[in-house]
Amino acid sequence: MTRNRNRWILAASLLAMAPSVAAAQNGLAPPVALMSSEAQEAAKAVDAFHAKLSGGDGAAAAALLADDALIFESGHAERSRAEYASHHAGADAAYAAAVPSRLTRRNGLVDGDTAWIVSESRATGNYKDKPVDRVTTETMILRNTAEGWRIAHIHWSSRAAT
């Protein structure tokens, strides 16, 4: 019970400090500059997931999820890697392959075998003959397993850029 409570306190602290970390970064610093080396390692799994989607390979992206992954997007939930793979992975890969996304900010924190990676990005391009200019926020919670970092939870939110 105490360990779970501490994790939630840690997660809340991470989210609370994200604006101040982002403000401390200048335009020349990479968005991950202030993350610990442990958090940067976990973030590599997030980057690999996005690289697979951008490459148009939803199945390979889904393979980086934990079996019991929980994905929240636009008020919907997918409650396992298998459900995501069979429902949205293909569409997410098609979109990511067509519309380039640029990471604008990232922060992360590791507590034992759990990591929180929070990211902001901007996607611009065309999809299905329509212009796209969206800002996305993303929270990923990862578990360090025998196979490496696996994504246990994703929460995506996006809006039209202003």
CB 104 within 8 A of CB 27: no
pLDDT single digits (tens) 74-125: 999 999 999 999 999 999 999 999 999 999 999 999 999 999 999 999 999 9
Residue 12, pLDDT above cutoff 80: no
Residue 6, pLDDT above cutoff 90: no
pTM for this structure?
A: 0.83
- Once rounded to an integer, what is the mean pLDDT over residues 49-62? 98
**Which among 15, 12, 29 has a CA at the least distance from the CA of 104?**
29
Measured CA to CA, the distance from residue 96 to residue 133 in angstroms comes to: 13
Confidence of residue 23 (pLDDT cuts 50, 70, 90): very low
Residue 138, pLDDT above cutoff 70: yes
Residue 2: predicted pLDDT? 58
Residue 27: predicted pLDDT? 47
| Token duo for residue 47 | 């980057």
Measured CA to CA, the distance from residue 50 to residue 138 in angstroms comes to: 12
Residue 38, pLDDT above cutoff 80: yes
Residue 116: predicted pLDDT? 97
Residue 113: predicted pLDDT? 98
Residue 25, pLDDT above cutoff 90: no
In three-state secondary structure terms, 112 is coil
Residue 72: predicted pLDDT? 98
CATH architecture of residue range(s) 2-23+32-160: Roll (3.10)
Question: How high is the mean pLDDT of the chain?
Answer: 87
CB 110 within 8 A of CB 36: yes
Residue 13's Cβ-side half-sphere holds a number of Cα atoms within 13 Å equal to 9
